[in-house]
Chains A and B, each alone.
Chain A
Amino acid sequence: MRTAAQPVPEQQQKPQLSSGWDPSSFQLTPAEGFLLSRIDGQTPLEQLRLIGGIPPEEVDRCLERWVTDGIVVFEAPESSGDAGAANPEVSGTTVDVSDGFETGTDLSRDEQQRILEFEASLDRPYYALLGIEASADTRAIKRAYFKLSREFHPDRHFGRNLGSFAPRLETIFMKIVEAYELLSDPATRAEIERSMSQAPPPETPPEPTCDAAGQAAASPEPPVDTKRAALDRLRRHFRIPEEVLAERRFRAKQFHQSAKASAHRGNWKEAGASIRLAIAFDPWDDEYKRSFAEVQARVHQVRATELLTEADASLDAKSQQDAMRMYEEALSYRPCDPEINAKAASLALDLGEFEAAREYADAACNAQPACAEHYRTLGKILRRMGLREKAREALNQSLTIAPGDVETKSEMAALMRTRSVR
């Protein structure tokens, strides 16, 4: 899915789980697990984006990753939008255009057929529309544009009786111009490629208060220029119906309630998972995001504490390397925690990793400046690094806080001795 050559999967395409993958070998968040459980080969992408429990663009990212990982496969699209973007024709099946034919025009049935088919497949990605490869250079884009113009420009049929085909031709030609203009401008082309290889960016919620697009206030705001508008159209590929939105908001509220309950019981992890789902269902509610931040902090604290306990156990088992790794992980959750930093500093000192040790010790001192022990550790580390002056400063600081500390005094004495030897 990373290569630009592949078009955005059609909304009606149904992803399915590929046979023979091992679920246990993948790290999935609860939300991702929920999404994965909804993939049954029956539900089209359009639906999954709505019911996946996470924002549509997140669904796209997950699916993209899983396709790359070989967990999920897409069946071939049903009609247009053949993955072979190079094919300008409607691939395989013929679009049912039988209704569109008109008698009494000057167009032959073949001409009508061609116009109706092309019109029915205007929603194809721009590359497919122009019938070019994603790697096509400017010349090739221009050639394709000229070729299609020769076929569909209204002037080709000037003076003939076209009936309903006159507006059809205009629509087709304007779409061709749009594709050509967007693809021949490097900036918009890059944007198109990005949105093809990723997913359409998030939608603005269609609530009246946020309906920014429409309110041009008669109108000091200049109208969106052509390219902008076309890109917006690209993004509005998927519009969520209001009833679905209401349903999603309701679900989000439920998850938020259960998150609160879990938090009350002190089960922060569970609370975090629930609130993540709430946000997935209603990514536009700031309250959920605030709650999530709170819960997240608690979850991290819990995890860090767990890790510290594990690290102590590892130390008892004489596995200093394991303990070090756990301190580091714990610090990724609570980077400023003085206790973890102090422990990590001492252990790193023992392991001879002075640079790292110094960093941890510095962090501990900063977080807890009134603790003599942290300065003593720092002093020890600095002495080993040969930074005598700095070591003396740190030890002095420690002695200022706790003047009687025997260990610090002996460390200071050792520092002085090295000097006298020299």
Chain B
Amino acid sequence: MSRVIGIDLGTTNSCVSIIDGGKPVVIPNTGGYKTSPSMFAISQDGKRLVGHLAKRQAITNAVNTVSSSKRLIGRRFDSPELKRAAEYFPYEIVRGENDDARIVISEKTFTCPEIAGIIVREMKRVAEEYLGEPVSECVITVPAYFNDTQRQCTKDAGRIAGLEVLRIINEPTAAALAYGLGREQEEKIAVYDLGGGTFDISILELGDGVVEVLATAGNTFLGGDDFDRRLAEYILHEFKDAEGVDLSGDLMAMQRIKDAAEKAKCDLSSLNTTEINLPFIANDADGARHLNLEVSRETLEGLVVDIVKGTLKSVEQCVNDAGLSPADVDHVVLVGGQTRMPMVQASVSEFFGQRPHKGVNPDEVVAMGAAIQGSVLASDDRDMLLLDVTPFSLGIATFDGHFAKLIDRNTTVPARKSHIFTTTRDDQSAVKIRVLQGDSNVATDNHLLGEFVLADIPQASKGVPEVEVAFDIDANGIVSVSARDLATGKEQSITVNATGTLSEEEIERIIRDNESYDLPTAGK
């Protein structure tokens, strides 16, 4: 039986792991790195590049290099998050057929699942090279706060890469699985996951090989990228003040500043000050200009303090949702590269009144957890069990525009709930069921998952017919909704196919397209 790989498909970096000798092992890529940049590029000479190769040429080829595409996946083109991202990304984003966002590089249009699929395929290749055998199944992680559409898109990415996705699991949950493996004691842990593009907080309970998610919260549009951006904007501003030159229109300069900002940010996690040196950043009538700037840790902290404090609001909500107080949490696990920042660690320590657990590598633990879940699902050796929850409430829109929740967020899956609704007009013959995901009382503020019509309701006065609407979430997180007229027994049901995802034909076309590309090896 082929082995199941666990893939942490990150905003900035991705990582792949496998169970070897009962323990999760992170697989290094050809260059020896345990993580690979989640980047894809088409070079000037038309070659497709992934990972480190893509990153290395990003400065000179910014417009044709895709990074942080996870921030776009499963989002509508018109969404405010997407507008914000589009301002900052050097590559072109266009509206797709399903109102999704698509990426244009080298005059070729890519869907987001396709880009993600290319990165997953690279991780698959890394694993196959290490194992010396083909791999066909995987578990992929997503931020806990990803909605159904985003999850579906990630699943599509797996298929595009030629993998069967056994399960999509939440990143903090995966981290908890890796943390909990081999631990005997019963404990409650908090996983604070601040990655490149997303922030998640989950409270979990461990014991007897079971990992139970008590509550989860987060923000899918907040992460290390935002720290980089704040610092880059600062650098830009300082340079303009000092030299009177605005570099924001210069793509290559921007890419260099972005890179330098990311590097400076990392340096400032261990140093108190760092120097940014970007020679020949601009050329004008006065000759070459160089960017020399000293940045202190304090400066950086001042730039991002509101973001860090903002995460604590989610943490508080999550702890409340779990029915706990911060002191009830036995251990705090930090996940994601951004948690290396001393201010993040200090804020989390302060909130929970304890120093975070040091035993896990924040960049690798998520992939390891995915590998564990993969082996739990695929082998007979089932030491761990994950009791997962739905991150959002599910329900339907009512005639007056309200959102009637049927399944509350943080409900353990699988779950099934039903409720009886009725008509609002005399002799109403059909009801439209609009399935929503979210937590706002106003229907339109929530994410529309799908809709269907229950027709042929016998003539009756309003309020008389009884329509039972049942929600079903299976262990895979697949939502199906059915509506049944209790008088006639007539039933309508749908398996919710998230709006804004790719059609079957499209996925197949993409798979065919990609088969012709043999991606060059990443790394050195």
Contact = CB atoms under 8 A, between A and B. Distances in A.
A170 B474 contact: yes
B186 A139 contact: yes
17 contacts: A146-B208, A149-B210, A154-B414, A155-B382, A158-B376, A158-B377, A173-B414, A213-B420, A215-B420, A215-B463, A216-B420, A216-B422, A219-B399, A219-B404, A220-B398, A220-B402, A223-B405
Interface string B206-218: 0111101000000
Contacts of A154: 414, 474-475
A176 B303 CA distance: 49
Interface string B395-439: 100111010111010011011110111111000000100000000
B205 interface: yes
A174 interface: yes
A228 to B, nearest CB: 11
Most buried by A among B207, B405, B414, B422: B414
Contact of A156 (B212, B385, B422): B385
A216 B417 CA distance: 15
B382 A156 contact: yes
Nearest to A181: B412
A158 B416 CA distance: 19
B468 to A, nearest CB: 9
Interface string B436-477: 000000000000000000000000000100110000001100
A96 interface: no
Contact of B385 (A139, A155, A177, A216): A155
A143 interface: yes
Contacts of A174: 414-416
A93 to B, nearest CB: 30
Interface of A: 139, 142-143, 146-147, 149-150, 153-156, 158-159, 170, 173-174, 177, 213-220, 222-226, 229
Contacts of B406: 223
A158 B166 contact: yes
Interface residues of B, number: 42
Interface of B: 166, 186, 205, 207-210, 212, 376-378, 382, 385-387, 395, 398-400, 402, 404-406, 408, 411-412, 414-417, 419-424, 431, 463, 466-467, 474-475
Contact of B411 (A159, A218, A226): A226
Given A158-B166, A219-B398, A224-B419, A143 B208 contact: yes
A150 B474 contact: no
Contacts of B419: 216, 219, 223-224
B414 A170 contact: yes
The 9 closest A-B CB pairs, nearest first, are A223-B419, A146-B210, A158-B377, A154-B475, A218-B421, A146-B208, A219-B421, A214-B420, A170-B414
A217 B405 contact: no
Contacts of A153: 385, 387, 475
B377 A149 contact: no
A222 to B, nearest CB: 6
Given A214-B466, A219-B398, A143 B421 contact: no
Nearest to B386: A155
Nearest to A156: B382
Contacts of A219: 398-399, 404, 419, 421-422
B474 A155 contact: no
A142 B382 contact: no
B36 to A, nearest CB: 29
A147 B208 contact: yes
A77 to B, nearest CB: 29
B469 to A, nearest CB: 9
A220 B401 CA distance: 9
Contacts of A217: 421-422, 424, 463
Contacts of B475: 153-155, 158, 170
Contacts of A213: 420
Given A150-B385, A156-B385, A226-B417, A220 B209 contact: no
Nearest to B205: A142
Contact of B398 (A146, A177, A218, A224): A218
B174 to A, nearest CB: 14
B481 to A, nearest CB: 14
